[in-house]
Structure 1
């Protein structure tokens, strides 16, 4: 259940929600768990950022970026310096905003693992939802993929898996993976809409849950009887944290309270 300012009776006017954001809202509104928001603006920001994460995942699947382990990763040297561990550090003087955008515009200049792919997707979703100057300030010394840089994404661990909605990051484990293929031990995926997921490994792209399992199961030990499966954990950015830097127009609805109902309309 979604609760905003003490009420769970929320009505959106025409044009406020898209088909995707309405589906996300509907799913969370019908959950047995309570999701509290300090304002309708914060709720709308989350819905918008989730939608932009989905769009970013679909865009990365079309970008031409290759899958590779860290040993064989590569990047565009105009924006990035590749470390000896195969990770990407923003080049001095380069714009973090432009560097992330370049991954999507010039995908064939990049190769990276699925774990880095979901981080790239989250960055793209965020930069498309907050003011560019704020993104530059927050991620001025961007480093893909180190723990400190990931902490700046303000990732929140959640469970159970049944509560995951579009824009969440899930993990598919593969317990009996072939140890000669270490990256086959699992796959980080972005939950899209309509039962689809984005995974970067093995050129997976946009796929159903069944397709994700089938691809990973092909990388198991010959005698394995344990299928790949989703873990019960998922993560997403702290939407309320990033909402303070929302782009203008994303969180400026007209809000009226009539009785027990909160009405959210376009200005």
Structure 2
């Protein structure tokens, strides 16, 4: 169920939505969970970001960036400094948006782990959602390493049996072979058709991904890999507001998201906004 300012949502016929956005709205409406928004624009922004997350995942799927462990990570030194731990630290002489775009433009120069792939997809999607100027203001000190993300991304993770296209799920492999610990699990983006993208696994059905992970289990293992109830997404509401403020205004008027978990409503994240 979708509510705008507490009122049940009715789609505006003037909206020119694509098939992905329509699929997301339909799935939101066909659940008892309440997706609450302050305005129609806030809802439209989330739909745009979710669509772009899906599109960014598809672009990464076709890229030449390869899956590897942190020990063998690599990046383009023109835009990033490779840290000892296998992270990518933004160079001080380049713009954040340019550096993120380079990962996709010169993908053959990059290798990273699946947990790092998700923030890269998020940043790429948000860049296309809010524009270069706002992106460069929000994300001036990018560091790509596993699930390390800028606080302005507002990543939230919670347990749920309901998820939407553009969400990220975790596939756990409890009996992974200790000789290949990188197959202990996989972070995947849900696409509009229900298929999943996982870096190093490409776009596959859930059954196909589970089958591949099951082949990476230890000897005499009988515990199958499975999709957990962990759902991860960026803070769409915070990003919507932050993208509409200049850097000076944002630091004085918007407080970063404070996350609370609520099993009965998607309003599990309550954001505090105030003016000084």
Instruction: Determine the C-alpha separation between the residues in 2 that align with 1:9 and 1:59.
Output: 32
Structure 1 alignment gaps of length 5 or more: 248-267
What residue number does 1:250 align with?
Answer: none
Change (3 A) 1:22 1:173: same
Corresponding position: 1:179 with 2:178: yes
Instruction: Determine the C-alpha separation between the residues in 1 that align with 2:11 and 2:42.
Output: 15
What residue number does 1:114 align with?
Answer: 114
Instruction: Determine the C-alpha separation between the residues in 1 that align with 2:96 and 2:164.
Output: 28
Write out the 4+ residue segments of structure 1 that deviate beyond 2 Å after TM superposition.
146-152, 244-247
Q: Greater shift after overlay, 116-125 or 128-137?
A: 128-137
What residue number does 1:224 align with?
Answer: 221
Tell me how far 1:158 sits from its aligned partner.
2.9
Tell me how far 1:146 sits from its aligned partner.
6.5
Aligned counterparts, 1:1-267, within 5 A: 1-145=1-145, 149-161=149-161, 163-201=162-200, 204-245=201-242
Contact 2:119 2:147 in 1 (8 A): no
Tell me how far 1:149 sits from its aligned partner.
2.9
Partner secondary structure for residue 207 of structure 2? helix
- Calculate the TM-score normalised by the size of structure 2: 0.85
- Calculate the TM-score normalised by the size of structure 1: 0.88
Instruction: Determine the C-alpha separation between the residues in 1 that align with 2:23 and 2:219.
Output: 41
Instruction: Determine the C-alpha separation between the residues in 2 that align with 1:115 and 1:146.
Output: 5
Structure 2 alignment gaps of length 5 or more: 245-276
Tell me how far 1:5 sits from its aligned partner.
1.6
Instruction: Determine the C-alpha separation between the residues in 2 that align with 1:33 and 1:15.
Output: 24
Change (3 A) 1:122 1:223: same
Change (3 A) 1:62 1:6: same
Instruction: Determine the C-alpha separation between the residues in 1 that align with 2:234 and 2:29.
Output: 19
Contact 2:188 2:198 in 1 (8 A): yes
Tell me how far 1:148 sits from its aligned partner.
5.7
Instruction: Determine the C-alpha separation between the residues in 1 that align with 2:189 and 2:214.
Output: 19
Partner secondary structure for residue 8 of structure 2? coil
Contact 1:129 1:246 in 2 (8 A): no
Contact 2:152 2:239 in 1 (8 A): no
Instruction: Determine the C-alpha separation between the residues in 1 that align with 2:19 and 2:106.
Output: 30
